[in-house]
Structures are given as structure tokens and as C-alpha cells.
Amino acid sequence: MLQNIGIPGLILILVIVLIVFGPSKLPELGRAVGSTLKEFKKSTRDLVSDDEPEQEQSKIKNEKSM
């Protein structure tokens, strides 16, 4: 879906965002999006790292039973 947008479509979207939010709100909006993405990445890393010890423990149990 997004691969069909192209450069003119992105420029149009940016112009619409600029008109809707105004130039004074764009830095705040950018910071909010950035902090949201940062928190999301941190949460996913924590979830993945929490799963790894469980997988290692089950692997060790499987090796011992053989």
C-alpha cells in the first residue's frame, strides 16, 4: 500500500500536515512521535530479552533429557 505513494504523494502529505498543525506545532508533534517510537522499541527489546532466558532454559532441559 505505501509503496505506491511516491515522492509527490509524500510532499502532498507533508503540506497537508503543515496546514493542519501549523509550523509552531510541528516540533512538538515530532518530539511526541519520536518519544513514542523510542518507548515502543524499548518495550519490544525488553519483551524479547525476557523470552530469551526461558527459551535457553527449555533448550537445556531438552538436552538433559536426551
DSSP-H helix ranges across the chain: 6-21, 26-65
DSSP 8-state symbol, 37: H
For 51-59, which contacts have Cβ atoms below 8 Å and span 24 or more sequence positions? Answer: none
User: Model confidence over 1-60: pLDDT tens digits?
Assistant: 556 888 899 899 989 988 998 888 888 988 999 999 999 999 989 888 876 666 565 666
The pLDDT, as a whole number, for residue 56 is 60
The pLDDT, as a whole number, for residue 52 is 65
